[in-house]
Structure 1
Protein backbone atom coordinates (compact mmCIF):
# COMPACT_ATOMS: atom_id res chain seq x y z
CA UNK A 1 0.00 0.00 0.00
CA UNK A 2 1.23 3.47 -0.84
CA UNK A 3 -0.05 6.71 0.65
CA UNK A 4 1.22 10.10 -0.43
CA UNK A 5 0.90 13.77 0.45
CA UNK A 6 2.68 15.93 -2.11
CA UNK A 7 2.51 19.47 -3.43
CA UNK A 8 -0.32 20.21 -5.86
CA UNK A 9 2.07 20.57 -8.80
CA UNK A 10 3.37 17.01 -8.30
CA UNK A 11 0.14 15.14 -7.49
CA UNK A 12 -0.62 14.12 -11.08
CA UNK A 13 2.95 12.91 -11.70
CA UNK A 14 3.05 10.88 -8.48
CA UNK A 15 -0.33 9.30 -9.24
CA UNK A 16 0.56 8.51 -12.87
CA UNK A 17 3.90 6.98 -11.88
CA UNK A 18 2.42 4.96 -9.02
CA UNK A 19 -0.39 3.60 -11.21
CA UNK A 20 2.24 1.91 -13.40
CA UNK A 21 2.84 -0.46 -10.49
CA UNK A 22 -0.21 -0.33 -8.17
CA UNK A 23 -3.99 0.12 -8.30
CA UNK A 24 -5.49 3.47 -7.37
CA UNK A 25 -8.21 2.99 -4.74
CA UNK A 26 -8.78 6.43 -3.24
CA UNK A 27 -7.34 9.95 -3.25
CA UNK A 28 -3.61 9.58 -2.56
CA UNK A 29 -3.93 5.84 -1.82
CA UNK A 30 -2.81 2.92 -3.99
CA UNK A 31 -2.49 -0.79 -3.28
CA UNK A 32 -1.55 -4.06 -4.94
CA UNK A 33 1.03 -6.79 -5.24
CA UNK A 34 4.40 -5.63 -6.47
CA UNK A 35 7.65 -7.50 -7.08
CA UNK A 36 10.81 -6.47 -5.24
CA UNK A 37 12.32 -5.19 -8.49
CA UNK A 38 9.28 -3.06 -9.33
CA UNK A 39 9.12 -1.83 -5.72
CA UNK A 40 12.69 -0.54 -6.06
CA UNK A 41 11.88 1.02 -9.47
CA UNK A 42 8.81 2.74 -8.03
CA UNK A 43 10.83 4.20 -5.16
CA UNK A 44 13.50 5.51 -7.55
CA UNK A 45 10.84 7.01 -9.83
CA UNK A 46 9.05 8.73 -6.95
CA UNK A 47 12.28 10.06 -5.44
CA UNK A 48 12.93 11.84 -8.74
CA UNK A 49 9.50 13.53 -8.62
CA UNK A 50 8.93 14.54 -5.00
CA UNK A 51 10.55 17.30 -3.00
CA UNK A 52 11.66 15.56 0.22
CA UNK A 53 11.56 18.82 2.19
CA UNK A 54 7.84 19.28 1.38
CA UNK A 55 6.36 15.92 0.32
CA UNK A 56 5.88 12.51 1.85
CA UNK A 57 5.29 9.03 0.47
CA UNK A 58 4.59 6.16 2.85
CA UNK A 59 4.81 2.49 1.88
CA UNK A 60 2.99 -0.13 3.95
CA UNK A 61 4.33 -3.64 3.36
CA UNK A 62 2.39 -6.71 4.38
CA UNK A 63 4.50 -9.87 4.61
CA UNK A 64 1.39 -12.01 4.25
CA UNK A 65 -2.29 -11.40 3.58
CA UNK A 66 -3.23 -14.23 5.96
CA UNK A 67 -3.83 -11.85 8.87
CA UNK A 68 -4.96 -8.81 6.91
CA UNK A 69 -8.48 -7.69 6.23
CA UNK A 70 -9.93 -4.84 4.20
CA UNK A 71 -13.30 -3.33 5.00
CA UNK A 72 -14.78 -0.36 3.24
CA UNK A 73 -17.77 1.84 3.98
CA UNK A 74 -19.12 4.47 1.62
CA UNK A 75 -18.23 5.38 -1.93
CA UNK A 76 -15.79 3.10 -3.72
CA UNK A 77 -13.15 4.97 -5.68
CA UNK A 78 -10.48 3.67 -8.02
CA UNK A 79 -10.10 0.11 -9.28
CA UNK A 80 -12.00 -3.03 -8.47
CA UNK A 81 -9.01 -4.99 -7.19
CA UNK A 82 -8.66 -5.52 -3.45
CA UNK A 83 -5.21 -7.07 -3.27
CA UNK A 84 -2.95 -5.82 -0.49
Structure 2
Protein backbone atom coordinates (compact mmCIF):
# COMPACT_ATOMS: atom_id res chain seq x y z
CA UNK A 1 0.00 0.00 0.00
CA UNK A 2 1.03 3.63 -0.37
CA UNK A 3 0.64 6.06 2.52
CA UNK A 4 1.02 9.70 3.38
CA UNK A 5 1.73 10.18 7.07
CA UNK A 6 1.44 13.49 8.89
CA UNK A 7 2.18 14.06 12.55
CA UNK A 8 1.80 16.90 15.04
CA UNK A 9 3.84 16.34 18.17
CA UNK A 10 4.98 18.29 21.19
CA UNK A 11 8.40 19.77 20.44
CA UNK A 12 10.01 17.44 23.00
CA UNK A 13 9.00 14.39 20.92
CA UNK A 14 9.34 15.71 17.36
CA UNK A 15 12.91 14.45 16.92
CA UNK A 16 12.05 10.94 18.05
CA UNK A 17 9.03 10.77 15.74
CA UNK A 18 11.09 12.10 12.81
CA UNK A 19 13.72 9.41 13.38
CA UNK A 20 11.06 6.68 13.65
CA UNK A 21 9.20 7.70 10.50
CA UNK A 22 12.42 7.92 8.47
CA UNK A 23 12.98 4.22 9.19
CA UNK A 24 9.79 3.35 7.31
CA UNK A 25 8.93 6.15 4.87
CA UNK A 26 10.40 8.97 2.79
CA UNK A 27 10.51 12.42 4.37
CA UNK A 28 8.98 15.00 2.03
CA UNK A 29 8.32 18.03 4.22
CA UNK A 30 8.25 19.05 7.89
CA UNK A 31 6.27 16.33 9.71
CA UNK A 32 5.13 14.77 6.40
CA UNK A 33 6.21 11.41 4.99
CA UNK A 34 5.13 9.22 2.09
CA UNK A 35 5.97 5.86 0.61
CA UNK A 36 5.09 2.26 -0.05
CA UNK A 37 4.77 0.14 3.07
CA UNK A 38 3.31 -3.25 3.94
CA UNK A 39 0.36 -3.58 6.30
CA UNK A 40 2.61 -5.32 8.84
CA UNK A 41 5.26 -2.58 8.72
CA UNK A 42 2.57 0.11 9.03
CA UNK A 43 1.15 -1.58 12.13
CA UNK A 44 4.68 -1.79 13.54
CA UNK A 45 5.24 1.93 12.88
CA UNK A 46 1.93 2.87 14.52
CA UNK A 47 2.66 0.71 17.57
CA UNK A 48 6.09 2.30 18.02
CA UNK A 49 4.63 5.79 17.52
CA UNK A 50 1.96 5.19 20.17
CA UNK A 51 4.67 4.34 22.70
CA UNK A 52 6.17 7.83 22.38
CA UNK A 53 2.96 9.82 21.86
CA UNK A 54 0.77 11.61 24.33
CA UNK A 55 -2.57 10.78 22.71
CA UNK A 56 -4.19 13.74 24.52
CA UNK A 57 -2.03 16.30 22.70
CA UNK A 58 -0.20 14.57 19.81
CA UNK A 59 -1.65 13.26 16.57
CA UNK A 60 -0.68 10.95 13.76
CA UNK A 61 -2.75 11.01 10.56
CA UNK A 62 -2.31 8.37 7.85
CA UNK A 63 -3.82 8.56 4.38
CA UNK A 64 -3.84 5.17 2.65
CA UNK A 65 -4.05 4.16 -0.99
CA UNK A 66 -3.62 0.83 -2.68
CA UNK A 67 -0.83 2.16 -4.90
CA UNK A 68 0.99 5.41 -5.55
CA UNK A 69 -0.48 5.85 -9.04
CA UNK A 70 -3.95 6.27 -7.49
CA UNK A 71 -2.81 9.60 -6.03
CA UNK A 72 -2.31 12.80 -7.95
CA UNK A 73 0.42 14.92 -6.41
CA UNK A 74 0.96 18.56 -7.22
CA UNK A 75 3.78 20.56 -5.68
CA UNK A 76 3.52 24.34 -5.75
CA UNK A 77 6.82 26.03 -4.97
CA UNK A 78 10.02 24.22 -4.09
CA UNK A 79 9.80 20.53 -3.27
CA UNK A 80 11.88 20.00 -0.13
CA UNK A 81 12.89 16.40 -0.70
CA UNK A 82 12.46 15.17 -4.24
CA UNK A 83 12.03 11.42 -4.40
CA UNK A 84 14.22 9.76 -7.01
CA UNK A 85 13.26 6.38 -8.34
CA UNK A 86 16.55 6.14 -10.23
CA UNK A 87 19.15 3.67 -9.07
Q: TM-score, normalised by structure 1?
A: 0.89
Over residues 20-78 of structure 1, what are the superposed CA-to-partner deviations in whole Å (9 max), with x where a residue is unaligned?
00000001100000011110110011001110011000010012444321110112113
- Alignment counterpart, residue 37 of structure 2, candidates 34, 41, 51: 34
Q: Which portions of structure 1, spanning 4 or more consecutive aligned residues, are displaced by more than 6 angstroms?
A: none
Does the CA contact (< 8 Å) of 2:8 and 2:58 recur in 1?
Answer: yes
Question: In angstroms, what is the RMSD of aligned CA positions?
Answer: 1.5
Change in CA separation of 1:79 and 1:47 when aligned onto 2, cut-off 3 Å: farther
Residues 28 and 81 (structure 1), Cα distance of their counterparts in 2 relative to 1, 3 Å cut: farther
Structure with more of its chain in strand, by fraction? 2
Unaligned runs of 5+ in 1: none
Match of 2:27? Answer: 24
TM value normalised by structure 2:
0.86
Q: Secondary structure at the match of 1:42?
A: helix
Show the counterpart of 2:62.
59
Gaps in structure 2 of 5+ consecutive residues: none
